[in-house]
Amino acid sequence: MRLRDRRSFAKPEVMIIPMIDIMFFLLVFFMISTLYMVNLKTVDVNMPKAASAQTQMNVTYLVTLKKDGTLYLEDKPIEEKA
């Protein structure tokens, strides 16, 4: 009986391309199946629509309080009403 030389045996190889293909397929499968599950659990909501849209102007006021307790709106003194 003749035995083979150890050098003549082929080294085992891991073929990575088929594994990448399988992982990509599983990723796509789970992404698509998750999208279908989300669509089944949603509720349609009718949002109200605006009859007319008006833009509001941003107005900045300068209020000044001095040491003596007087209030000023812009440059005009105002009285504090309690």
Rounded average pLDDT per 10-residue block, the chain, 82 residues: 69 85 95 77 80 80 89 86 63
Would 81 be classed as within a structural domain? Answer: no
Q: Is 52 helix (H, G, I), strand (E, B) or coil?
A: coil
The single residue listed with the structure tokens 């085992």 is 12
For residue 62, the 8-state DSSP code is -
Would 76 be classed as within a structural domain? Answer: no
Would 9 be classed as within a structural domain? Answer: no
pLDDT for the residue numbered 56 = 76
pLDDT for the residue numbered 54 = 77
pLDDT for the residue numbered 35 = 80
Domain that holds residue 34: 15-41
pLDDT for the residue numbered 53 = 74
pLDDT for the residue numbered 39 = 58
Output the pTM of the full model. 0.35
Distance, CA of 30 to CA of 76 (rounded, Å): 68
Would 37 be classed as within a structural domain? Answer: yes
Would 60 be classed as within a structural domain? Answer: no
Would 58 be classed as within a structural domain? Answer: no
The total domain count for the chain is 1
Residue 72 makes CB contacts below 8 A (sequence gap 6+) with 63, 64, 65, 66, 78
Would 23 be classed as within a structural domain? Answer: yes
pLDDT for the residue numbered 82 = 53
